[in-house]
A and B are shown apart, each in its own frame.
Chain A
Amino acid sequence: MRDRADFERYVEQRSARLVRTAYLLCRDWGQAEDLVQTALAKAWLAWRRVGDNPDPYVYRILTNTHASWWRRRWRGEVPTGELPELPDQRDHEGEIGARDALRAALIALPARQRGVVVLRYFEDMADQEIAAVLGCSAATVRSQASRALAKLRLDPQAQAAIRMESRP
């Protein structure tokens, strides 16, 4: 059975990383801390039942809570299918423009797709792990990722490589 010392250690070791992940989901540092605090509070209430690795449980609460808040509160930006044109040449200004465009496209992704992108490319989770966190099948994760990447306009070669990846 997991105890309080365990929980305190977990918060100390993992909360900074969780705040970063939460920030990438909601793009607001204040809300990110709020999200993590809520996720950890819910995890604490179920701590005795949490297994050896609390991460999947905590990440699941985090993404569920974010999706729920996003549907209720997120009114600031309207997703659009039309993204700004990306610059043609890879000069310095072009790179900044591309980053901004990518950032804007990331923000415009639906919460679920953004969650998949963040868990896959920031947390480096395999599709099966993401599926466990999000409570869906690995095939659903792959299709969500594929839609997200299409919206982000990733290099087709990179997309092909991603599709071919057989992440267990």
Chain B
Amino acid sequence: MTITEQDLRELLERDSGDGPYRGVAVAGVERRARRIRRRRGSALAAVAAAGAGAVAMIATAQPPVAYDWGGVLARAAQVDDIARALIAAEYERGGRTEEVTFKASGGRFLLHAICPEGRQVTVTINGREMSPRACLPGGVVWSNPKMLLRAGKNTMRVSLQVIGGPAEAKPYPARWQVSVAERDGKGCAVTVVPGEGKQVVVGNADTCGG
């Protein structure tokens, strides 16, 4: 016999309907949030002590803060060899392609964008297009692009567009930001929120060893 799409829907409905699903209590969530906040606080303090100077060239003197983007935060132990922030660009218009060049020593990198919900960001680096990403609260990260940066000059073209829409449209006012950081051997990086000077520790917790 064959299994149909409807069978699959029914199975998922039935399997998840059998258990004692009663939701979770707000108090329990609050306790968990306090634990996470404490852990992030200590991790960021260690990061700041270990090598915040590496990104000082584009950051202001403000202390580093946690920036939530799906809760994946590299731990301090894995970021002793902090990656170098390469560029942080801020734009005030969407609907048109912006181009920027920057120098790198070559290799793996991480890209971080902060943009309005309902839009997506398209990025092309050295002529190779990366998958567009939809904007979410807290920003969007390309944590493990397959391509590598060139040693020397790199060219990045970015555009903010309506989800599913064309890269080029009638320009409209929108504040959005893109930053690029080189990654250390374990994939952890520190980048900066342009305009605010906040240092952001990002990276895949698994890749970094969690």
Distance to closest chain B CB from A75 (angstroms): 15
What residue of chain A has the Cβ atom nearest to residue B141's Cβ? A135
Chain B interface residue count, CB cutoff 8 Å, equals: 51
Interface string of B1-21 (1 = CB under 8 A from A): 111110111011101110111
Contact A57 B24 (CB under 8 A): no
Chain B, 89-141, CB within 8 A of any chain A CB: 117, 131-134, 136-138, 140-141
Question: Which range contains the number of A residues in contact with the other chain?
Answer: 35 or more
Distance to closest chain A CB from B133 (angstroms): 6
Please indicate the chain A residues that have their CB under 8 angstroms from the CB of B26 in the complex.
7-8, 11-12
Contact B2 A155 (CB under 8 A): yes
Please indicate the chain B residues that have their CB under 8 angstroms from the CB of A11 in the complex.
23-26, 29
Contact A87 B4 (CB under 8 A): no
Cα–Cα, bound, A168→B136 (Å): 18
Contact A42 B68 (CB under 8 A): yes
Cα–Cα, bound, A7→B19 (Å): 25
Interface string of A60-86 (1 = CB under 8 A from B): 110011001001100000000000001
Cα–Cα, bound, A121→B14 (Å): 12
Please indicate the chain A residues that have their CB under 8 angstroms from the CB of B205 in the complex.
68
Please indicate the chain A residues that have their CB under 8 angstroms from the CB of B141 in the complex.
135
Interface string of A105-134 (1 = CB under 8 A from B): 010000000000110011000001001100
Check if B148 is an interface residue, CB within 8 A of chain A.
no
Cα–Cα, bound, A30→B66 (Å): 29
Check if A1 is an interface residue, CB within 8 A of chain B.
no
Please indicate the chain A residues that have their CB under 8 angstroms from the CB of B37 in the complex.
45
Please indicate the chain A residues that have their CB under 8 angstroms from the CB of B2 in the complex.
86, 153-156, 158
Q: Interface residues of A: mostly helix, strand, loop or mixed?
A: helix
Please indicate the chain A residues that have their CB under 8 angstroms from the CB of B70 in the complex.
42, 60-61, 64, 135
Contact B23 A49 (CB under 8 A): no
Distance to closest chain A CB from B187 (angstroms): 13
Chain A, 37-70, CB within 8 A of any chain B CB: 37-42, 44-46, 49-51, 56-57, 60-61, 64-65, 68
Cα–Cα, bound, A88→B30 (Å): 51
Q: Which 8 A/B pairs are nearest by Cβ-Cβ distance?
A: A15-B23, A41-B32, A20-B16, A46-B68, A155-B2, A41-B33, A16-B23, A42-B71
Interface, chain B (partner A; CB < 8 A): 1-5, 7-9, 11-13, 15-17, 19-26, 28-30, 32-33, 35-37, 66, 68, 70-72, 117, 131-134, 136-138, 140-141, 163-164, 204-206, 210
5 interchain pairs (CB within 8 A)? A29-B20, A45-B68, A50-B137, A102-B8, A154-B5
